[in-house]
Amino acid sequence: MVGFAKVTRDLTERRVAEEELRASEERFRLLVQSVTDYAIYMLDRDGHVSSWNAGAERFKGYTSNEIIGQHFSNFYTLEDRAAGIPVLALQTAEREGRFEAEGWRVRKDGSRFWASVIIDPIRNDENALLGYAKITRDLTEKRAIEEQLRQSQKMEAVGQLTGGLAHDFNNLLTGIGGSLEMMQVRMAQGRTAEIERYVLAAQGAVKRAATLTQRLLAFSRRQTLDPRTTNVNRLLAGLEDLIRQTIGPGIALDVVGASGLWPTFIDPHQLENAVLNLCINARDAMPNGGKLTIETANRWLDDRAARKQDLPVGQYVSVCVTDTGTGMTPEVITRAFEPFFTTKPLGDGTGLGLSMVYGFARQSGGQIRIYSEVGHGTTMCIYLPRQAVDSVDDTEATFHVPVEQASDGKVILVIDDEPTIRMLTLNC
């Protein structure tokens, strides 16, 4: 009799446990079912839909009756299907334990939405693959908002550029226009001896305008570069005195040239310009003194590193300028290369230094990167491609272009879209 009682109790316990499990599974099923912000569904081993929740119906437009048993590649675009992406996704999930991606997916009505997708393999206790759990989120709206934000940021940058440009040129034109007017007045008065100073003033403004356009051309990667085989260490050694003068005695300078540094094929004057610009920025970031380090190195960028730096795989020479100054906030870092972006008081900064350095690095086939932390300082690294071993050293090559004389009655046609330039060319 004792034994009987025990069996009864055991059965009861087991039934209670089974009931509880069933109830909890049911609760879980209901939970998954009622989620509408995520499409949560399962696939069998071959990728056929085996369960479907309310969110999946909401995003994709299929009722569970319509879709269960169908292959999940129906949700992919034709291009992705042709490229074998759905199968690849399952294989990746099986092999790596998870597949995560963002991409375009297709609704039942053919419209597309931007989805964030996670696929997890489901295995039993013996580790055999039973199928896949798939969670999809509709990010179309989020993506649209991000796109809008990017667009408005771009417009703001363009606005700032245009405003800065218009302001600077206006000042220069006022200088030139005013000088010309004064020359006219003095000539009418017959005071020709006083004309000289207005000529000089106008010429000064013209020179500043030329510098400005030069920097803008550099930023837009359209400056005329004069690349030569360059030993960056030697270039820095030649620049050291000038840098020391520029940063002043309150800042210690350390120039560390890597031994065996590869040669580069770049415009040496523009590199000097760039390094000087970085040093001036570093000085401005250390008003109470500090340390400035310029360091060169050979760098091998493999596939991953190259992708990170947005450069082709290969060998590069880096020049890094490090200061112990104020550092930059993430916001300043993202905008630092924009022309006319400056955090310095009006009249102090032009906001053209880094945009010029950026343009030069990119046009030279290289890159510039900012590593900075507020309160700790900043490192700016320029990457320049190593000179190809087989490229010819044409440092000494010069070209003599014969100047044609037109004293024998020949007619020369002068073409330019700017009337002033035509007039000046004809009179010179």
Site residues for ligand ADP per CB under 6 A: 281-282, 285, 323, 325-328, 332, 336, 341-344, 349-355, 378
Spell out the residues 6+ positions from residue 141 whose beta carbon is closer than 8 angstroms to its own. none
Minimum separation from the CB atom of position 338 to ligand ADP (A): 8
Minimum separation from the CB atom of position 404 to Mg ion (A): 44
Which residue has the CB atom at the shortest distance from Mg ion?
353
344 binds, among Mg ion, ligand ADP, none (CB under 5 to 8 A by kind): ligand ADP
Nearer to ligand ADP, 121 or 351 (CB): 351
> Is 243 within 8 Å of 286 (Cβ atoms)?
no
Distance of alpha carbon 92 from alpha carbon 82, whole angstroms: 18
Minimum separation from the CB atom of position 398 to ligand ADP (A): 34
- Please give the residue ranges that form the binding site for Mg ion (CB under 5 A): 281, 353
Closest by CA position to 352, among listed 238, 156, 208, 250: 208
> Is 251 within 8 Å of 291 (Cβ atoms)?
yes
Closest by CA position to 352, among listed 342, 363, 366, 361: 342
Which residue has the CB atom at the shortest distance from ligand ADP?
353
Distance of alpha carbon 274 from alpha carbon 361, whole angstroms: 9
115 binds, among Mg ion, ligand ADP, none (CB under 5 to 8 A by kind): none
Nearer to ligand ADP, 67 or 381 (CB): 381
323 binds, among Mg ion, ligand ADP, none (CB under 5 to 8 A by kind): ligand ADP
Closest by CA position to 225, among listed 191, 264, 266: 266
Nearer to ligand ADP, 73 or 246 (CB): 246
What is the residue whose two structure tokens read 């050291």? 240
Sign of CA dihedral 349, 354, 356, 357: positive
Nearer to ligand ADP, 106 or 381 (CB): 381
Distance of alpha carbon 218 from alpha carbon 4, whole angstroms: 94
Checking DSSP bridges between strand 377-385 and strand 112-123, what pairing results, if any? unpaired
Q: Which two tokens stand for residue 268?
A: 């040496």
Minimum separation from the CB atom of position 342 to ligand ADP (A): 3
Q: Which two tokens stand for residue 97?
A: 């334990």
378 binds, among Mg ion, ligand ADP, none (CB under 5 to 8 A by kind): ligand ADP
Minimum separation from the CB atom of position 224 to ligand ADP (A): 22
Nearer to ligand ADP, 27 or 344 (CB): 344
232 binds, among ligand ADP, Mg ion, none (CB under 5 to 8 A by kind): none
Q: Which two tokens stand for residue 37?
A: 């912000």
Distance of alpha carbon 247 from alpha carbon 275, whole angstroms: 12
Minimum separation from the CB atom of position 158 to Mg ion (A): 21
Q: What DSSP designation does 406 have?
A: -
343 binds, among ligand ADP, Mg ion, none (CB under 5 to 8 A by kind): ligand ADP
Nearer to ligand ADP, 85 or 280 (CB): 280
Amino acid type, 62 = Y
Checking DSSP bridges between strand 377-385 and strand 38-44, what pairing results, if any? unpaired
> Is 322 within 8 Å of 247 (Cβ atoms)?
no
CB burial readout 335-353, b (16+ within 10 A) else e: bbbbbbbbeeeeeebbbbb
Nearer to Mg ion, 211 or 425 (CB): 211
Minimum separation from the CB atom of position 239 to ligand ADP (A): 17
30's enclosing H/E stretch is helix 2-34
Minimum separation from the CB atom of position 373 to ligand ADP (A): 10
Minimum separation from the CB atom of position 168 to ligand ADP (A): 12
Nearer to Mg ion, 262 or 358 (CB): 358
Nearer to ligand ADP, 179 or 318 (CB): 318
